[in-house]
Amino acid sequence: MATERHYSPIDRFLLQADAAMKTLLPVSAHAHRPSPAIVQPDVKMNESDTRHVAGLMRINHTGEVCAQALYQGQALTAKLPQVRKAMEHAAEEEIDHLVWCEQRIHQLGSHTSVLNPLFYGASFGIGAVAGLISDRISLGFVAATEDQVCKHLNEHLEQLPVEDEKSRAILEQMRADEEHHAESAIEAGGFRFPAPVKFGMSLIAKVMTKTTYRI
C-alpha cells in the first residue's frame, strides 16, 4: 500500500516557490481542462467593449492569483493532512481558471495586472495565518472568499456584451467551480463567518477590483 510522502520544510518551501512562479509568470501554468471558450464563436467587438471585457477578465485573473496564494498559504499551515490535500486539490482546479482568464485577456489584446505579485503576497500571508489559527477557520475563509468571488462573477456576467460568448462560457464555468469549493469547505467543517466579517472582506475585494481593472 502506498504511503503518504512527508516533505521537509525545505521541500515545502521549494514547492511553494514553484507554485508562486507558475502563478505569476505569464504562460507558465498549464490547465488540466480545456477552456470552455474554445467551442464558442470568435466575434469581433468594438473597441470600447473589448477594453471593458479585458478589464473584467483582468480582475478575474487577479482573483485567481489571490486564490492560488490563499490555498497555498493554507496548505502550508494546515494541521490535518486531509485539509491540506483539499486545499492543494482546490488550488489545482483554480489553475484552470487562471489559465483560461489569461488566454482570454491575450485574445482581447490586453495584459494581466502588474499588481499580481503584491496581491499574491498578501493573500498567501492571509491564508497562512488562517491555517495557523485553525483548520475550521481556514475552511471558513475559503467558503467566505468563494462567496465573494461568485458575487463578482455574477456582476461581470451581467456586464458582458451579449455577443461575447467566449468570456461568458469561462465565467459561468468558474462560477460553478467556485460554488462547489464554497460548499465543500462548509461540508468539511468550515466556520460560517458572520456578516460583518464578510462585509470587511467585500471592501478589501473592491480595492482589488478597482485597481486591477486598468492596471
Q: What are the binding residues for Fe cation?
A: 64, 94, 97, 146, 178, 181
> Which stretches of the chain are DSSP H helices?
9-24, 47-77, 81-107, 116-133, 135-159, 165-187, 195-212
Sign, CA dihedral 41-43-158-104, equals positive
Closest Cα to residue 93, out of 180, 189, 187?
180
Largest separation between any pair of C-alpha atoms in the chain: 59
Binding site: residue ranges? 64, 94, 97, 146, 178, 181
> Which stretches of 41-115 are DSSP H helices?
47-77, 81-107
What are the φ/ψ torsions at residue 40 (nearest 5 degrees)? -95, 150
Q: Cα separations (Å) of 187 from 135, 136, 177?
A: 13, 11, 15
